[in-house]
Chain A
């Protein structure tokens, strides 16, 4: 049987590794190459690597840097950040990446998902969506590139159409819970599960193995976390952890 996936999300910013809280307060974690090596030794299931410094469409993707980075990834990798064209994705996939992650690019032009799926197969196209509850308790989608919430785009409509557009997997990220480590937005998991049959990876708020267990009660394909794998203790000292022995029995 397929194992449930437990996936560290690593955030790059100007070729450094950082972690955010509620999408703000970037904290320096370390040298990405070094951190990736450690995760590989700890039997990690998969890695999601996102460059959050790539919100400006004119920023060039640093392929040489990525080549070095991926040469140490002996696990499946999803990469995202600043990818707007099939040509860029092709270059990145050839460096040894399994999946391309689109976020703002998909929000700005849903039709482009089809091009990616046609070229690389749906299994290589992951759509990540960052959501936050508004004052009326409705989920709204954040666009990182425009730095604004999407007006007039309903969360449920958007997610439920992604499969038709050729997406192969959805990462759903709760901004409200980002970096807080106090538990997940279970309601968000339930809603997403109801509106799509695509594999779902939930991200945001995971701070313990109990949280991961709870998330898997809802039959999602994977969970992802940042802080849980890079911080230790109440003062959030940087320590790379991945207790794979404990994960085996989930």
Chain B
């Protein structure tokens, strides 16, 4: 079963629509039991870090995710859902899930030429020698964010994007995936990405 975590912050309906478009069924849920038992979990997040995290802790979704991961389930964090996988964020006071080593920082850019948020279509250079890189060698994805991930462990970096320098736009550690972009709003490329996540063993 595919569970989409309903953190009450935005784009989960778009994620559900995209999963259906690919040909799968999914449930929108914040249930501890359901998430613990799901084989695939997608964690979309929009809005502020603390708002998303407080919902996660209130519903014990952090514990449910640990249960699911112990059963070899696959997890995909999207946007703030990806940021939540890290230890902490400059945006908030609450702790992250600490599933991936690192922290979330605010963009510090040449503001005249590089606006914040980083919003629009940009390309992702996926990690070499894997199916995502070969399938999505030419791509573009839709981004909206003002904060970015700093990985402590270089092995966890799964994709990078250029915007006044390079930042980490995708992470992967074992069965845990995270993307800063919105696959549910990146038409053809988003579909391909989600299909790979769901079907690639």
Give chain B's interface residues, CB within 8 Å of chain A.
Answer: 10-11, 13-14, 17-18, 21, 47, 112, 115, 117-122, 140, 142, 144, 162-163, 182, 184-188, 190-191
> Is A241 part of the contact surface with B, judged by Cβ < 8 Å?
no
Of the candidates B13, B120, B140, the one having the most CB atoms from chain A within 10 angstroms of its own CB is: B120
B191 with A2: CB separation less than 8 A: no
Q: Which partner residue on chain B sits nearest A5 by CB separation? A: B120
Contacts of A93 in B (CB 8 A): 10
| A3 interfacial by beta-carbon distance below 8 Å | yes
User: A213 to chain B: closest CB distance in Å?
Assistant: 18
Residues of A that sit less than 8 Å from B by CB: 1-3, 5, 40, 43-45, 70-76, 93-96, 98, 121, 123, 197, 199, 221
CB-CB under 8 A from B140, the residues of chain A are 3
- A3-B122, A123-B144, A199-B115 given as contacts; is B10 within 8 A of A75 (CB)? no
On whether the beta carbons of B18 and A98 are closer than 8 Å, the reply is no
Most buried by B among A2, A45, A73, A123: A2
Of the A-B pairs whose beta carbons lie under 8 Å apart in the complex, a sample of 5, sorted by A's number, is A3-B140, A5-B120, A43-B188, A44-B187, A197-B112
- Partner among B11, B115, B187 whose Cβ is within 8 Å of the Cβ of A75: B187
Q: How far is the CA of A103 from the CA of B3 in the complex (A)?
A: 38
- From B13, B112, B120, B185, give the contact of A95 (CB < 8 A): B13
Task: With a 10 A CB-CB cut-off, give which of A73, A76, A94, A95 has the most chain B CB atoms.
Answer: A76
Instruction: Please give, as numbers and ranges, the residues of chain A lying within 8 Å of B10 by CB-CB distance.
Output: 93-94
Q: Which of A3, A5, A40, A96 contacts B187 (CB 8 A)?
A: A40
Closest beta carbon of chain A to B197's beta carbon, Å = 16
Please tell me if the beta carbons of A74 and B190 are within 8 angstroms of each other in the complex: yes
User: How far, in angstroms, from A221 to B114 measured CA to CA in the complex?
Assistant: 11
**Closest B residue to A67 using CB positions:** B13
By beta carbon, the residue of chain A nearest B190 is A74
- Neighbouring B residues of A96 by C-beta, 8 Å: 11, 13-14, 17
> Which residue of B has the minimal Cβ distance to A74?
B187
Contacts of B188 in A (CB 8 A): 43
Q: Which residues of chain B have C-beta atoms less than 8 A from A76's C-beta? A: 142, 144, 182, 185
Contact of B185 among A3, A75, A221 (CB under 8 A): A75
